[in-house]
Amino acid sequence: MPEVILSYQSGLIIAQRRSSTRTLVRDISFTLREGESLALIGETGSGKTMTALSIMGLLPENVTQQNGRILFCGGELSGKKDIRSKLGVEIVYIPQNGMEFLNPSRKVKDQLFDNLEKLGVPAKERKTAAMEKLAAAGLQPPESFLEKYPFQLSGGEAQRVTIAISACSRARLLIADEPTNGLDPEAKDRFLRHIDTLFPNAARLFITHDIAVAEKCGRLIVLCGGKFIEGGCSESVLRHPNHPYTQALKDALVENGMKETPVVRESDSDCPFYSRCSKACERCLGEIPHQKRDGIEWRCVL
């Protein structure tokens, strides 16, 4: 059985406003094993990115986490200092905009060399190692990119450079936040192949609204309004959704007619999709039955 790399319990993630508070994420939990890919999917504001930021200890200043617990490789991540000592080494992050991630005043080689130095790679070996990572990330010829500054890269090249930098690590956990945003289908497939090549044994967490990316992960979890909706084997969940919200995400795809999800009612239902769900009934206002799918608890309103 592959090792459990990440065991995550969100507790409550709460944003402090001027005169009120808002719960952004509530009681989400999952585990992620070595070599496994898990996608968190949902609309903007569903809690995906806040979940990822909480793992890395990078929540905004006005956001706090209560009663959460994060185990990494069997040990509890306790405090920002502990987490940051692992960032870029054992926990690596790929953002949706590679250009914003890169330091604009430093050459590509210098940013690669920084990470290679952290790994203890001797100075005389860093150029060769850097070129190997650039080539594995799909940049050819790799030596032509070493002397470039970020402003000399295209958006796709900048994204591949960030992948190469992330690969200069001993990654046990990879977190990728909307990494294929704006890419065409061929580029998405190429990106995912590079990830598989460079991080074959790392646990991989994809934060995405792109169902095409979620389909290529072994498992997925659907979030809505900061709550767990359903989850399990990606192929099974997407082929036969059990919750109307998951079906609505599929219906919104271009190939499915880009159907709009209407706002039909107001309520205090525990289901965050109730106000927009055409299948909601009186039962949805009361107790929602708990069921399990592939070992993950989800709530059904059908």
Tell me the CATH number at 267: 3.40.50.300
Q: Identify the residue whose tokens are 């795809």.
A: 253
Q: Are 233 and 218 in contact (CB under 8 A)?
A: yes
Q: Which of 142, 175, 170 is nearest to 157 (CA)?
A: 142
pLDDT value at residue 175: 96
Does 267 score more than 80 pLDDT?
no
CA distance 274 to 225: 11
Across the beta sheet with 219-224, the strand order is 91-94, 173-177, 203-208, 37-41, 219-224, 227-233
Quote the number of domains for the chain: 1
Residue percentage of the chain with pLDDT more than 70:
89
Residue 71, domain member (yes or no): yes
Residue 116, domain member (yes or no): no
Residue 132, domain member (yes or no): no
Q: Are 47 and 25 in contact (CB under 8 A)?
A: yes
pLDDT value at residue 145: 96
pTM value is 0.84
Domain with 223, as residue range(s), is 4-90+170-299
pLDDT value at residue 159: 86
Q: Please give the average per-residue pLDDT across 78-97, as a whole number.
A: 85
Whether the bond into 104 is cis, omega within 30 of 0: no
Q: Which 3 state secondary structure label does DSSP give 247?
A: helix
Residue 120, domain member (yes or no): no
Residue 284, domain member (yes or no): yes
Residue 23, domain member (yes or no): yes
For all residues of the chain together, what is the average pLDDT?
Answer: 85
Residue 249, domain member (yes or no): yes
Does 291 score more than 50 pLDDT?
no
Does 135 score more than 90 pLDDT?
yes
Does 252 score more than 50 pLDDT?
yes
Q: Please give the average per-residue pLDDT across 56-72, as a whole number.
A: 93
Residue 277, domain member (yes or no): yes
Where does the pLDDT of residue 261 fall: very low under 50, low under 70, confident under 90, or very high at 90 and above? Answer: low
Report the relative pairing of strands 69-72 and 4-9 from DSSP bridges: antiparallel
